[in-house]
Amino acid sequence: MPEVHSAPSVPHAPSLPSAPHRVEFLRLPHPGFPHLTAWGIRVDGTDLRVLVAEATRALWSRELDEDDDTPQERDAFLLGQHAPLHLDDDADGARARAHFMGEAPPHLRDRNTGALCLMGCPCGIDACWPLLAMVRATESEVTWSGFYQIHRPEWGELPLGPYVFPRPAYEAALAVPLGLDQDPLAPLLGEG
């Protein structure tokens, strides 16, 4: 897997108090590779891929304006730009629990900032086209902030979050992920 190397130079906004959010972790077939099981995420009931699609829509439009895509094709592209993390060799979920608590392995972490991959590439290689964010865990909460796409430094920090989750609820969601037989976005991605 390719290593994630550098972050965009983004000035960080001052921390503002945020209302607690709710996270759900999902175990579902990887889009495009249904024989692989992946870790999906919902924040406040919305798939993280949907949140990222909206956060990057205007940024992508600069690159995609030359394409002759229909609105439906553009939406499918935006929703499919990231995939749930596959996390090789994680049958018991121990690797995912460590990862989502901020202890990601080096190949799924930006070595300059410490940000880690929350979503990977639809090609099946998590570090290929990662969505990165800072994950900070304290005794009482887990915070995701500073989202960015390492291969688009000109985008800077994406307009997502920060998301502050009560740690007990976060750990409970991670310990017992919701198992799904199909990716809930499959129909929108043209896969179901």
> Using CA atoms, how far apart are residues 173 and 175, in angstroms rounded to an integer?
6
Task: Say if CB 79 and CB 114 are below 8 A apart.
Answer: no
Beta strands in the chain (DSSP E): 23-30, 33-43, 46-47, 116-119, 131-137, 141-149, 163-166, 178-179
pLDDT one-digit tens code per residue, 97-108: 999 999 999 999
Q: What percent of the chain has pLDDT over 90?
A: 58
| Residue ranges of domains in the chain | 23-179
pTM summary value: 0.85
pLDDT one-digit tens code per residue, 137-172: 999 999 999 999 999 999 999 999 999 999 999 999
- pLDDT class of 5 with cuts at 50, 70, 90: very low
Q: How many CB atoms lie within 10 A of CB 183?
A: 24
Residue 56 pLDDT > 50: yes
> Using CA atoms, how far apart are residues 137 and 101, in angstroms rounded to an integer?
6
Residue 15 pLDDT > 70: no
